[in-house]
Amino acid sequence: MAAISKSSNGKWRVRISWYDSTGTRRFKSKAGFSTKAEASRWARSMEIKKDDSTITDKSVSFAQYFDEWFRTYKENKISYITAGKYRVIQSKLAEFYGSRKIDEITRRDYQRFINEYGACHAPESVKKTNSIIRSCVKSAILDDLITKDFTQNVELVWNSDREHKVDYLNVNEINKLAAYLESKLDPRYTSYYMIYTAIMTGMRLQEIAALTWDDINFNWKTIDINKAWDFVLKKYIPTKTESSTRIIRVNSKLLDIIAQLKSNHSGMVFCNASGTIPTSAGCNKTLRKSLRQLGINKPSYHFHALRHSHVALLLYKGVDIYAISKRLGHSDLTTTTRRYAYLIDELRQKADDDIENILNNVGIETSHRIAE
């Protein structure tokens, strides 16, 4: 039960108690409510947390709270692979902080963690890890475990030697690969079809694998991307993010090629003659074999890089970056420009040349007419 009382300063105070898994009685209190109604609402919210076992107190360690937060708010909403990343972060926190309590962590402590983690990790890994931990810390503030965000204004550091620039195929290489895949199409081997679809759509592997015939509208020439496929658990899962759920326009040639797979008599588009969907390893094996046959020497090129190649093709052809962002399923334009900044920079020279040519011709046509 919650005990609500009025302090000498006229503010209301709430104190609740519960028993943890070891049978130890725990207490949690909060003061400063302007009205008794506000205090009662907070007390009711804590009672709910008592019922679903998410309530905690300041005796919890940073690593333990991260684990509780992950299991309560994240585990059932993310893919098996993404959940693995959260577990790795939890183990890193446990390794660095041990049993140190979350309310004892300072901004300096967290900077030291980032310094150590960043010394052997690539920029993208550091940024993602920091983003996840920051979400956890903000949750701890909402749970009244801490009062300050000790992750705020921390300087991110990383190992530049571990930075991996994703390879992508130039326009000529994309055309060669597409033509080669078309020559190898056989409904029994759906990995060729999956690679071809990635080139034409920029879809992620898990999104392609999850497609059913109901997701493809042959009349309107669209693909409805509304789920993903978990290769480990062999089941449908939500798309990577909410914005990843989208409908994209595709070309008739791709639809004609995909339609060949109806002969496999499966509800899932890319289920092969053996009743299985090619895994990431299988698709990458087919992709690298195809590149070798074409004499394209890019040994580190992998399936997800096809997404980058799709972006490179569209950018090269002058497609608006906003339209590309929506096609990829990014939540905002910033995500696209940040992730594909290296492509934009490389194509800027072409744009600069075009601008220079346009400016060089300003007034020339009029000058010729005047001279005449």
Note whether 200 and 312 are same-domain residues.
Answer: yes
Q: Which residues of 127-160 are buried (b: 16+ CB within 10 A; e: fewer)?
A: eebbebbbebbebbeebebbeeebbeebeebbee
Note whether 195 and 273 are same-domain residues.
Answer: yes
Pair type for strands 25-33 and 3-6: unpaired
Q: Which pLDDT belongs to residue 45?
A: 78
- E strand or H helix at 54: none
Q: Which pLDDT belongs to residue 204?
A: 95
Q: Quick check: 96 and 116 in contact, CB under 8 A?
A: yes
Note whether 281 and 146 are same-domain residues.
Answer: no
Note whether 32 and 71 are same-domain residues.
Answer: no
Cα 336 to Cα 134, 135, 302, 330, 351: the distances in Å are 22, 22, 20, 7, 19
Q: How far apart are CA 248 and CA 30, in angstroms?
A: 50
Q: Copy the structure tokens of residue 60.
A: 């919890």
- pLDDT in 10s for each residue of the chain, 372 residues: 578 888 777 888 887 776 666 656 666 777 778 888 888 888 787 777 666 655 555 568 899 899 989 988 888 877 777 888 999 999 999 999 998 989 889 999 999 999 999 999 988 899 999 999 999 999 999 887 888 999 999 999 998 877 666 677 888 899 999 999 999 999 999 999 999 999 999 999 999 999 999 999 999 999 999 999 999 889 998 888 888 999 999 999 999 999 999 999 999 999 998 899 999 999 999 999 999 999 999 888 899 999 988 988 888 888 888 899 999 998 888 877 777 766 666 666 666 767 777 787 776 655 555 555
Domain limit, last residue, from 109, 135, 162? 162
Note whether 10 and 136 are same-domain residues.
Answer: no
Note whether 153 and 221 are same-domain residues.
Answer: no
57 occurs within a structural domain? no
Domain count, the chain: 4
Q: Which pLDDT belongs to residue 315?
A: 83
Cα 34 to Cα 7, 29, 46: the distances in Å are 11, 15, 18
Q: Which pLDDT belongs to residue 222?
A: 97
Predicted model pTM? 0.66
Q: Which pLDDT belongs to residue 51?
A: 61
- Structural domain including 145 reads 62-162
